[in-house]
Chains A and B, each alone.
Chain A
Amino acid sequence: MRRTVPAFVAAGAIGALALTGCGQAGQGSTTTEDGRTQVTMWTHSAGNPAELEVYERIISDFNASQDQYEVVEESFPQGAYNDAIVAAAASGDLPCLLDLDGPIMPNWAWAEYIQPLGISTDITDSLLPTAVGVWNDEIYSAGYWDAALSIFARESVLTENGIRIPTIDDPWTAEEFTAALQTLKDAGYETPIDIGAEDTGEWWPYAYSPFLQSFGGDLIDRDTMLSADGALNGPEAVAWGEWFQGLFADGLASNSGTIGNQEFVDDEVALSYTGVWNALASVEAIGDDLVILPPPDLGTGPKIGGGSWQWAISSTCEEVEGARAYLEFSFQDEYITEFADKQIVIPATEGAAEASEYFGTDGVLRPFVELSQEYAVLRPETPAYAVISTTFETAAKDIMNGADVQQTLDRAVQEIDANIESNDGYGF
């Protein structure tokens, strides 16, 4: 029995080596037949043909434009993408170019997955501030677009019920908003607003932490980034929690239904708190009657989440020059407009917005550009965000389900602070 152990270990080692060998296959600087250096690139856009089509066009234009580099793209489904990156990083097998969701950037920068972007500042200066990822005073990522949330309504429904139509300069106050919901409930809408509470994951902090910020609270103390105490459990945060709980307790919002905007399109709800990506379908279904409204001012002005998918260069990239050349090439207004109009997302440059069919000065979705410029708040730029995000989701769901607000928020603060402490402050 004892003697078999070395054989076991040998067999295991051979197996492990074989697997590592396979893992190395995708790596780095290969040269093509005509002597060009390959630059590998991963995207999360498999399953999104509109987005992929634009990438393919950029890549083929870039590859045709010069004879030094060739960009080779591989796309993953969004659900598996982050896991693929983490696994690739663990085995030292990251591609040169990779895209990432805005709030995760500090975590990956801190973990040294990615390096400072180093592309021309002329480009990054021209982008929407929320489309540029900064950590430790360095730009690590940049994106072609941003997303924004707003409240959709039918103009006719609001007018019939005598509800004032808010504007970006003069949004609903908290009282006005609650009164409007109550009026709509009395008018026969069982739950007058659909805020998408049936969804899970990153949607929760993305959609509902702006309400918290509008009340004057926040997910973490942004001055130090070391504690959530006071920000997430102070009086403003408790006021938010009670307001949020009230939405469900008073039957103003529902926590079930279908993800997306279908209830609003079917006129089962009067208002819908939803994203730009759902906008075009609603415009097509409802036409001129659709109004795109800012979220309510709950104390310190309306807020919406900012930061969407962006591009970064991995720290192990051997062809940094090629990767930068590609990125600089790709940030042309022409491409950004195409992303915006095909995917229905807010173009990151003014020039691209002007050329866009939907987001130009007369475009139907123009309000989103202004919402994003006026009200966007980035999620806290700290490596602790992964923990903050899931903790906030749990706490907000508990509050939705009737848990004691102060207690729930205190517990969330404790969990976040313990995590930050056990990571020696994440470099802050």
Chain B
Amino acid sequence: MTVTPPTVAAETPQRATRRFRTTKGRETWAGLAMMAPAGILLVLFLIIPVILAFTLSFTNARLISPNPPRFVGLDNFVRAFTADGVFVQSVWNTFLFALVVVPVQAGLGLLLAVLVNRRMRGVTAFRVIFFIPVVTSIVVVSILWRFLYQPNGLINSMIDTITFGAWSGMDWLNNPQTALGAIIVLSIWQAVGFHMIIWLAGLQTIPEELYEAAKMDGAGPWRQFVSVTWPGLRPTMVFVLVTITIAALGLFVQIDVMTQGGPVNSTSTIVYYAVRKGYEQQEIGYAAAISLIFFVAVLIIALIQRRLTREKD
């Protein structure tokens, strides 16, 4: 982004300077040309949509309509926060989901990473096993888990067997009390392998000598973890937290495949609700407003996280 195009020479150019400028100009154009493929895609699929969403959110535009869109000011935002209970519920569900998933998934990922970061037999097999859900399509995973969660599905049979028939489970996805929890469990299971790999990469950057030194000082495994591993993992931790948070806030596929926001809106999320409003119910203007609110919320959270996790010197 620091590339500058040739400046138009206003003064009478000297021969040497002009040659210099042309070379520089050629480099600039070459640079632009190389940037073009990525640039065009970014403009088309990122910058233009963001501008469009911003504009649309102040109108009553529809996906299909013979009427031209009308400017409605802040109506959409007012409606979202004051007159739309489902939106408020979706916001709450989304943050609840993130609130549970971020620490649990990061923690479990780290635990798994520490476990598989050893020199022992079959450790590669474990790594592969934990990583398999990550490379499986989330749609496939969601469909499979929908079967597992059925009233006569595998999970309930397991509960039934373990408790010797004392408790035969419940209809997990059709109960407003358990539906979001069920999706949280599945989501953590699906993505924990990915974060395990990131943590693992972080673990392997910590020099072995530090551990040797710690051992000589008489540190036990817990002490080693607290004083050597954890400080060494700081940059990894920031990365993992930020990626999990953003992924958690964008929860969509599991909802779309498994519950469609039900029962009684208990699993509706902001992104799912925006898609539902904009695409199924064709209210593009309102959906754009929801997306904008989402964008601002994610931005604020990311900034807060950056502030909290910045290096304090």
Show the binding face of A for B, using Cβ within 8 Å.
Answer: 1, 3-4, 7-9, 11-12, 14-16, 19, 86, 89, 107-108, 110-113, 200, 254-257, 386-387, 390-391, 393-394, 397-398, 400-403, 408, 411, 418-419, 422-424, 427
Q: How far is the CA of A45 from the CA of B86 in the complex (A)?
A: 36
Q: Which of these, B5, B32, B264, contacts A403 with CB under 8 Å? A: B264
Contacts of A422 in B (CB 8 A): 60, 283
1/0 per residue, CB under 8 A from A, across B51-67: the answer is: 00000000010111111
Check if B5 sits within 8 Å of A4, measured CB to CB.
yes
Contacts of A418 in B (CB 8 A): 83
11 contacts between A and B (CB under 8 A): A1-B4, A3-B4, A7-B32, A256-B151, A386-B282, A394-B261, A398-B263, A400-B174, A401-B264, A403-B263, A423-B67
Q: How far is the CA of A300 from the CA of B281 in the complex (A)?
A: 31
Contacts of A108 in B (CB 8 A): 64
Stretch touching chain A among B38-46, B94-102, B119-127, B216-224: B38-46
| A-contacting residues, B100-120, CB 8 Å | none
Q: Is B21 an interface residue (CB 8 A)?
A: no
Q: How far is the CA of A393 from the CA of B265 in the complex (A)?
A: 12
Contacts of B176 in A (CB 8 A): 401-402
Q: Is B226 an interface residue (CB 8 A)?
A: no
A90 → chain B, closest Cβ, in Å?
9
Q: Is B128 an interface residue (CB 8 A)?
A: no
Contacts of B41 in A (CB 8 A): 15
Check if A4 sits within 8 Å of B4, measured CB to CB.
yes
- Taking A12-B44, A110-B66, A112-B66 as known contacts, 6 extra A-B pairs with beta carbons closer than 8 A to each other, sorted by chain A number, are A110-B65, A255-B174, A256-B150, A401-B176, A401-B263, A402-B263
Most chain A CB within a 10 A radius of its CB, from B1, B63, B276, B282: B282
Check if A401 sits within 8 Å of B65, measured CB to CB.
no
Check if A1 sits within 8 Å of B1, measured CB to CB.
yes
Q: Which of these, B67, B152, B264, B281, contacts A387 with CB under 8 Å? A: B281
Check if A256 sits within 8 Å of B171, measured CB to CB.
yes
Check if A390 sits within 8 Å of B276, measured CB to CB.
yes
User: In the complex where A4-B5, A7-B5, A411-B85 touch, is A15 in contact with B43 (Cβ < 8 A)?
Assistant: yes
Q: How far is the CA of A255 from the CA of B153 in the complex (A)?
A: 13
Q: Is B25 an interface residue (CB 8 A)?
A: no
Q: Which of these, A12, A255, A257, A387, contacts B282 with CB under 8 Å? A: A387
Q: How far is the CA of A3 from the CA of B47 in the complex (A)?
A: 18
A219 → chain B, closest Cβ, in Å?
15
A82 → chain B, closest Cβ, in Å?
10
Contacts of A256 in B (CB 8 A): 150-152, 171, 174
Contacts of A424 in B (CB 8 A): 67
| A-contacting residues, B270-299, CB 8 Å | 276, 280-283
| A-contacting residues, B61-76, CB 8 Å | 62-67
Check if B174 sits within 8 Å of A401, measured CB to CB.
yes
Check if B281 sits within 8 Å of A419, measured CB to CB.
yes
Q: Which 5 pairs between the two chains have the least Cβ-Cβ distance?
A: A401-B263, A12-B43, A15-B40, A111-B64, A256-B150
Contacts of B152 in A (CB 8 A): 256
Contacts of A89 in B (CB 8 A): 64
Check if B283 sits within 8 Å of A11, measured CB to CB.
no
Contacts of A393 in B (CB 8 A): 260
Q: How far is the CA of A407 from the CA of B137 in the complex (A)?
A: 38
A226 → chain B, closest Cβ, in Å?
16
Q: Which residue of A lies closest to B47 (CB)?
A: A12
Q: Is B2 an interface residue (CB 8 A)?
A: yes
Check if B5 sits within 8 Å of A3, measured CB to CB.
yes
B255 → chain A, closest Cβ, in Å?
12
1/0 per residue, CB under 8 A from A, across B1-18: the answer is: 111110100000000000
Check if A4 sits within 8 Å of B3, measured CB to CB.
yes
Contacts of B43 in A (CB 8 A): 8-9, 11-12, 15
Contacts of B265 in A (CB 8 A): 394, 398
Q: Is B48 an interface residue (CB 8 A)?
A: yes
Contacts of B263 in A (CB 8 A): 397-398, 400-403
Q: Which residue of B lies closest to A396 (CB)?
A: B262
A358 → chain B, closest Cβ, in Å?
34
User: In the complex where A390-B280, A394-B262 touch, is A11 in contact with B36 (Cβ < 8 A)?
Assistant: yes
Most chain B CB within a 10 A radius of its CB, from A256, A257, A403: A256
Q: Which of these, B7, B40, B264, contacts A398 with CB under 8 Å? A: B264
A14 → chain B, closest Cβ, in Å?
7
Check if A12 sits within 8 Å of B283, measured CB to CB.
no
Q: How far is the CA of A386 from the CA of B284 in the complex (A)?
A: 13
User: In the complex where A11-B39, A11-B40, A256-B171 touch, is A401 in contact with B64 (Cβ < 8 A)?
Assistant: no
| A-contacting residues, B243-277, CB 8 Å | 260-265, 276
Q: How far is the CA of A187 from the CA of B60 in the complex (A)?
A: 56
Check if A255 sits within 8 Å of B171, measured CB to CB.
yes
Q: How far is the CA of A98 from the CA of B170 in the complex (A)?
A: 46
B38 → chain A, closest Cβ, in Å?
10
B3 → chain A, closest Cβ, in Å?
7
Q: How far is the CA of A1 from the CA of B2 in the complex (A)?
A: 6
Contacts of B280 in A (CB 8 A): 386, 390
Q: How far is the CA of A16 from the CA of B62 in the complex (A)?
A: 22
B265 → chain A, closest Cβ, in Å?
8
Contacts of A403 in B (CB 8 A): 263-264
A382 → chain B, closest Cβ, in Å?
13
Q: How far is the CA of A107 from the CA of B282 in the complex (A)?
A: 11
Q: Which residue of B lies closest to A391 (CB)?
A: B281
Check if A15 sits within 8 Å of B44, measured CB to CB.
yes
Check if B44 sits within 8 Å of A200, measured CB to CB.
no
User: In the complex where A12-B48, A398-B262 touch, is A4 in contact with B65 (Cβ < 8 A)?
Assistant: no
Contacts of A390 in B (CB 8 A): 276, 280-281
Contacts of B85 in A (CB 8 A): 411
Contacts of A411 in B (CB 8 A): 85
Q: How far is the CA of A424 from the CA of B66 in the complex (A)?
A: 11
A1 → chain B, closest Cβ, in Å?
7
Q: Which residue of A lies closest to B268 (CB)?
A: A394
A416 → chain B, closest Cβ, in Å?
10
Q: Is B163 an interface residue (CB 8 A)?
A: no
Check if B283 sits within 8 Å of A86, measured CB to CB.
no
Q: How far is the CA of A15 from the CA of B7 in the complex (A)?
A: 25
Q: How far is the CA of A403 from the CA of B62 in the complex (A)?
A: 31
